[in-house]
Amino acid sequence: MLAVIHVVPANKESTEQMNKALDNIAAKMPPANGAGLACHPEEIVGYGNAAERILEAARDRESDLIVIGIRGAGKHLGAAVHLGQATAHKIVASAACPVLTIRN
C-alpha cells in the first residue's frame, strides 16, 4: 500500500483548509485506473504536528518505508535532517522503519 500524507499545521485548523489540502493531493494523484500502477495511493490529510501525524500513520499501517521531502536547508542539506526541530529529523530519529529523505 502507498499512502500520501499532508498535515495541516495546528494553528490553521479549519474544515475549509483540510478540504483544500485533500483536493490538492487528489489533483496530483494518478487516476485509480491508471495504466501500469500496482496500486492506487491512499490520500490522507492530518491535523497538528507533522512529524507526529506521519509517524502515527506509518505505525498504524505497519509501513516498510517512509519517504519525506526536505527543504529550507540551503547549502547545508545535512542540517535539514540533523537539526532537532526539523520535521525530517524527528521522523528519522523516531521511525520504526527506514526513512528515505529527498531534497526538494
Q: Mark whether 2 and 43 lie in a shared domain.
A: yes
Residue type, 15: T
Contacts of 24 (CB under 8 A, 6+ apart): 6
Is residue 59 in a domain? Answer: no
Q: What is the mean pLDDT of residues 41-58?
A: 88
Is residue 2 in a domain? Answer: yes
d(CA 8, CA 81): 21
Looking at the chain, list the stretches that DSSP marks H as alpha helix, in order from N- to C-terminal side. 15-28, 50-60, 77-82, 87-94
Residue-averaged pLDDT of the chain = 78
pLDDT at 91 over 90: yes
Residue predicted with more confidence, 80 or 14: 14
pLDDT for the residue 60 = 94
Q: Mark whether 16 and 41 lie in a shared domain.
A: yes
pLDDT for the residue 71 = 73
Range of the domain at 40: 1-48
- Indicate the number of domains in the chain: 2
Global pTM value = 0.72
Q: Mark whether 43 and 76 lie in a shared domain.
A: no
